[in-house]
A and B are shown apart, each in its own frame.
Chain A
């Protein structure tokens, strides 16, 4: 076990860092390390891919779980895996894909840990069919504030289990989790792509066709204005069947070796390179290069699910002021609210890089889980954008008035009031936390900022 070292910790957006004592420990050394926790508490951190301050604990202890042998135990017969909380989806996929399994849910990057994924209750392009990751977790082994270890699941200490799903790491430190996997016949995707001219057409297309396909997502151009407002590239599909592959690919149906093409060097001009002009040009090119309609294209897992992972450290492109992610959901029937948000973003002249719009299915029982039935939009904005505060606080009101809410893992600007309105079951969650952590050992910058703790 190493000793804690002072470290400046950031979220992926590189906006508001804080200093904490950081230490990497094996699960066996966790209890001893946590005994050293001071008044600023402790928090587990994964790969730091949440955008804001969710994995920061200024002045306190931040623990990373060391990888160890036996971190991934695949039970092929039953289609489930027990995986260490510090293992990334990248590492997991490299083990399970060759055995014909896929993770039940993946976000837009494979560089997140299982612990972080569960703490954020991540969703993917299949939420409308499969729900979020919490729906697929059979059990979690976790360390509680008193140093004891317990196993929780939907049928075993269910209230703590669901408080931990989406609980942002504030109920305990996950050690491992057992997850049901998705059997696949090949490591390829079979994808239909189509251009959609505007927002109304997008709502209509997704509303009628989504339920027939496992994966569905629209890349929406938020710089486009007027009759192009909300123009999108919709891509939908599923894992390719063996019969979908041509003879050459069918020889090695489970071959999987994702890689990074380039990495952004540490030295980017302080103002960044993503501004309104460059983003507008990129978005235009993206839309133009997409086929008007193409059916049954065979793609790799990486190209379909994790395109941004091709560029290492792409967050540096935003320069020293970093970037702000904004993701919210509004229930079905509140399409006008979504339209208002898209109009305001387009009119603001903010340089929003490709944004993602998707349809969510039903919520799961977790009180702080983000997804609920409705439309979700996720976008990046340069932190240095003029008037960004007024713009986002204005959008917050539109979203909250439409009974929507914001995603903790992406958040870096919300207020406690917005959380109370967006998450009406917050007090229920707090009561569960209070029962297992009466002294407030688990703390984070996000928890303090948003009044979760």
Chain B
């Protein structure tokens, strides 16, 4: 059970090696935190990430998690609760960026990214949400992206999966409200992280720490969405209404 200060006891990070996800975990850590579960495909990298969190006096567990193995997700969520009790905060942070030039033309690559970023997110989020429904409380952080706000020609598959999970999280979040479960959708702009290594930073680039800061504030205030940086909300409300031919020609990476 999260305490009155918005400090969770049990935190689950899906995408246990995600820079943004780990930054959010670090920001949430407090003397109240008892357990952090890092769920990831590459458990060796997960262990290294765990080592970076270990100076806090919490139990950190790295567990294998495969986004595309959707038939394991229900049992995965149940096993978390069985082992650690109520899940206070679950952060859904895994996704693949892919190379837009490849995924735009390569069917197999496009399907691969869609299955992780969309199907895997939908499946694992519902599995965790069902556990939270039964406990009558809990928060889910959905790492969306401004890339889903209006999908760019440069990376249509990635953008579309983010648009998809953003819409999914809005609807699921509304359905969870009466069950006491809070869904926070986080829409960062370009984040300087391992995922974007080698890419040219877009305007309004931000960092995992700034995303984490805004996320934790959003959780405590029980907001539905946060944009990082905040100005992107207004930038995209303009971009969303640009005529198609103009949008298509914009040099947006």
Contacts and interface: CB of A to CB of B under 8 A. Distances in A.
Contact of A324 (B4, B30, B31): B4
A372 to B, nearest CB: 24
Contact of A17 (B34, B133, B134, B180): B180
A4 interface: no
Interface residues of B, number: 24
Given A18-B180, A19-B178, A445 B221 contact: no
Interface string A371-411: 00000000000010000110011001000000000000000
Interface in B87-118: none
B40 to A, nearest CB: 27
A6 B178 contact: yes
B32, B133, B136: most-surrounded residue (chain A CB, <10 A):
B136
A84 interface: no
Question: For the complex, would chain A's binding face be called helix, strand, loop or mixed by DSSP majority?
Answer: loop
B4 A322 contact: yes
A117 interface: no
Given A17-B180, A393-B30, A412 B135 contact: no
B81 to A, nearest CB: 11
Contacts of A449: 1, 3, 9
B68 interface: no
Interface in B1-54: 1-7, 9, 30-32, 34
Nearest to B220: A321
Nearest to A393: B31
Contacts of B221: 320-321
A209 B86 CA distance: 49
B137 interface: yes
Interface stretch (A53-61, A102-110, A280-288): A53-61
A13 interface: yes
B179 interface: yes
B1 A59 contact: no
Contact of B1 (A16, A39, A388, A392): A16
Interface string A308-325: 000000000000111010
Contact of A19 (B2, B30, B136): B136
A57 B1 CA distance: 10
B1 A445 contact: yes
A49 B31 CA distance: 26
B85 interface: yes
B137 A389 contact: no
Interface string A9-30: 0000101111110000000000
A420 interface: no
Give the interface size class of chain A: 35 or more
Contacts of A320: 221
A369 B26 CA distance: 36
B4 A448 contact: no
A413 interface: yes
Contacts of B6: 16
Contacts of A416: 34
A19 B137 contact: yes
Contacts of B134: 39-40, 59
Contact of B137 (A18, A412, A413): A18
A52 interface: yes
Contacts of A94: none
A140 B133 CA distance: 35
A415 interface: yes
B180 A58 contact: yes
Contacts of A324: 4-5
Contact of B136 (A20, A321, A414, A415): A20
B34 A16 contact: no
A8 interface: yes
A142 B189 CA distance: 58
Nearest to B1: A449
Contacts of A58: 1, 86, 135-137, 180
Interface in A71-115: none
Contacts of B4: 13, 15-16, 51-52, 322, 324, 383, 412-413
Given A58-B136, A321-B221, A415-B32, A388 B5 contact: yes
Contacts of A57: 136
Contacts of B179: 6, 19
B3, B9, B137: most-surrounded residue (chain A CB, <10 A):
B3
Interface in B213-227: 220-221
Contacts of B2: 16
A448 B86 contact: yes
B177 to A, nearest CB: 10
6 contacts: A17-B137, A58-B135, A59-B135, A59-B137, A392-B5, A414-B3
Interface of B: 1-7, 9, 30-32, 34, 85-86, 133-137, 178-180, 220-221
Instruction: Identify the 4 closest CB pairs spanning chains A and B, nearest first.
Output: A58-B136, A412-B4, A19-B180, A15-B4
Interface of A: 6, 8, 13, 15-20, 39-40, 51-53, 57-60, 320-322, 324, 383, 388-389, 392-393, 396, 412-416, 445-446, 448-449
Given A13-B4, A17-B137, 6 more contacts: A18-B136, A20-B136, A40-B134, A52-B3, A389-B32, A445-B137
